[in-house]
Structure 1
């Protein structure tokens, strides 16, 4: 008789040779994260909260949670069950924020554009105690629904996937209303991105459970330990997500909601860092300065460009995990800001530690000769002309939907320029933006 495997450590080993599982190669949550403090192993048919919720389908997963379609014994009949990892950071803050917002929601129509929990409970599992949040069902994110639109199928290499203008505008308007509600109540979202904007769905309460169950045959990903032993801390299978894309309401009834307050924080209690996607970071985040509501507004400005063009405004990559890789990404981001938005002011150049590698004292761009010289104390540069990124206006004119004429293009670019103020104190508020003519048309 072989001995059972030992309890895995709370942290994932940095060396792959100590991994417990064979690589699945599937676009699911990391299997190594099923360990004490990590994900709760969910098998289809599992029940939660004394049998009140039964899991029948996987809707998605993130760094700190998995989300499931569950059958409820109450009303509504079907709900989304979000199960946090046991050591999820900021869970208490999220619960306090959700509680506060739920008390403010009845008197504020904008609250309908922020997902609100229907139930909150804790579940004790093999990997620890997990916070569980129950939400109304939604039909997919703004990052994914665009791929399911008829006009974007079949997928072709090089074909631009963008929303029709009316849908892009609806997503932005509803997301902005959600932001205004949060900001009015002293809450910073901290992770405003397409993946956190959810589409509503038609009522599916009359639908038979059988027709909503996970298609296990095509979505189950078997889990195997390297040593061949059974594992107590992980599920038997991972599952590919099956969002409710086919239930999304596309038309006058389309409603979009800002979701996932797991990274949100009180304006009065600012954290030292955020999880804002790298290309959506405001200048104060890149330069590690104090930040507040303005980071949400800046990210929102980037989304205006993204939803109307089908491409990101700032394409920033981090190549590696080293400090130098992060610094290179930060430098590239600031260079793009300088070219695309407007030249960086002296106040930003002064606090940018490596500004002198890229610009002369009078803000003229330098072209480094090589990486070796960049890393040395020598200031040797080639005479090759540095690449200058096109301006915001040029990029938008090139990438915008044909539905947007030159006159509207000028209005949209002016709106984005108002948002892209380097000084966060000068950026418009969400309330200010809601009054802009482009959103009220």
Structure 2
């Protein structure tokens, strides 16, 4: 079973420690620890780690980590800060919070529960998440007292270059097409001044949780089969909509796919919300040198609250998703992008080996990896040490030898393979795509007592995935071909029709 112990093993694996030097990955795995702690709050007796416990299946207000830890979950590196380089490790470590050393000029806004933004309109009531370049807060709109909102507060150095809000606004004005329903709406945007600079703030409706959160809170890290089918269908349709508008999202992963509320939380006052889900529990920030805190850092830090629902308990009728974090989005005809800032194990191989710029086909690769992880338990490239070389080794095991010129560029290939592409015997048997399907999908479903994938669906699903995971971008399926694949027609679209009884979904399905 791919349990939380496996995640912890990754956290403390010596190879992984080298990767964690990258700040974004530090945030990713900090968030993983936060979810593990949340899991403890659900299943361990009260008071063991944290007193905040879920009150019902109406779970989280959490928008994933606000940014690109590759992830913010709310996870926007390409437009990230260029000037933030504070002295490291100035503060006593606090678990499950953002990097406190990034509270510095150009960095995070030093906010706390009870603060207000935009001339008092938005009062912060809880932390929803954080990422490399933002924190996200649950706030009460005091001008419209009947609603809660999510306020994403971007670091000062990243605020000037991000076009996330304007892009989402433009997408909202696009003609209605299938898939548009997963694009979020921007309720408001404004600027906030702090000791660390000027911060762009984006206001959206709060979401229930991310798919990453839901899986990490689950014992088996699986969605029910019909739920997985419905989520995948929505995601493929959403990416097709983006591509039709000339937009590459640039950072597809489970943390950036949010689950919408099916029931409004606006009915609760702040005190009722705390009574139902637990009050925030700030922890004092302490300098390691015992000096007084500067104005650049908050006096207390707050871990994001967890009010989520486990992936295996998510009902099909509540599995409506929203795509978040457009900080890495770009238009290929007008923007040359030669690098990928998303998670290392889902990055397309051309980002490493090709001199051609990334484009729509690059996102098809990342989409395939994301679809795989929604459908099953484990990532397609599942390795303890997420280095570029280890990920490439996983790709070659599953899909065969790289194109000739790429193979020659890969200087460390001999550590895993001979020149014919055969895996060194010390690594055991080569893990093919079919083998990965068995241990990522079929075996975990059997262990969880879930319905197994039929041979007919397996063939259709694998045909779709194989068409997307082709090394040369020009040979990959287009998003329209994926949308029209046998699996989408036979399983994805029917699950969507049967699960989400919403006018917007039904109307777009009829088109």
TM-score, L = length of structure 2:
0.71
Check the 8 A contact 1:165/1:308 in 2, yes or no: yes
Cα gap change, 1:365/1:432 in structure 2, threshold over 3 Å: closer, same or farther? closer
Who is 2:394 aligned against? 336
Alignment partner of 1:346 is 2:404:
yes
Q: C-alpha separation between the residues in 1 aligned to 2:375 and 2:469?
A: 17
Q: State the shift of 1:249 in Å.
A: 7.2
Who is 1:381 aligned against? none
Who is 1:189 aligned against? 249
Check the 8 A contact 2:146/2:267 in 1, yes or no: no
Task: Please report the RMSD computed on the Cα atoms of aligned residues, expressed in angstroms.
Answer: 2.6
Trace 1:131-142 onto structure 2 (pairs within 5 A): 131-142=200-211
Q: C-alpha separation between the residues in 2 aligned to 1:211 and 1:309?
A: 37
Who is 2:456 aligned against? 407
CA offset digits 1:47-79 (Å, max 9, x no partner)? 111111111011111111111111112386111
CA offset digits 1:167-206 (Å, max 9, x no partner)? 1112211122221121111111111100000000121222
Q: Which has the higher helix share?
A: 2
Alignment partner of 1:277 is 2:337:
no
CA offset digits 1:181-235 (Å, max 9, x no partner)? 2111111111110000000012122222212249786632221122331321111
Who is 2:139 aligned against? 70
Q: State the shift of 1:250 in Å.
A: 3.2
Q: C-alpha separation between the residues in 2 aligned to 1:348 and 1:230?
A: 51
Q: C-alpha separation between the residues in 1 aligned to 2:315 and 2:93?
A: 38
Alignment partner of 1:299 is 2:357:
no
SS at match of 1:107: coil
SS at match of 2:316: coil
Alignment partner of 1:365 is 2:401:
no
Q: C-alpha separation between the residues in 2 aligned to 1:220 and 1:132?
A: 22
Check the 8 A contact 2:338/2:351 in 1, yes or no: no
4+ residue stretches of structure 1 with deviation over 6 A? 214-218
Q: C-alpha separation between the residues in 2 aligned to 1:27 and 1:111?
A: 34
Who is 1:252 aligned against? 317
Q: C-alpha separation between the residues in 1 aligned to 2:462 and 2:154?
A: 39
Unaligned runs of at least 5 residues, structure 1: 1-8, 320-328, 368-383
Who is 2:295 aligned against? 232
| Bigger mean CA deviation after superposition, 67-76 or 52-61 | 67-76
Who is 2:258 aligned against? 198
Q: C-alpha separation between the residues in 1 aligned to 2:439 and 2:471?
A: 24
Trace 1:38-437 onto structure 2 (pairs within 5 A): 38-72=107-141, 73-74=143-144, 77-88=147-158, 91-104=161-174, 106-148=175-217, 152=218, 155=219, 160-201=220-261, 202-213=263-274, 219-226=281-288, 227-245=290-308, 250-268=315-333, 269-287=335-353, 289=355, 290-316=357-383, 329-355=387-413, 359-361=417-419, 363-365=420-422, 367=424, 387-400=428-441, 401-402=445-446, 403=451, 404-437=453-486
SS at match of 2:209: coil
Unaligned runs of at least 5 residues, structure 2: 1-82, 492-511
Q: State the shift of 1:93 in Å.
A: 3.3
Higher radius of gyration, 1 or 2: 1
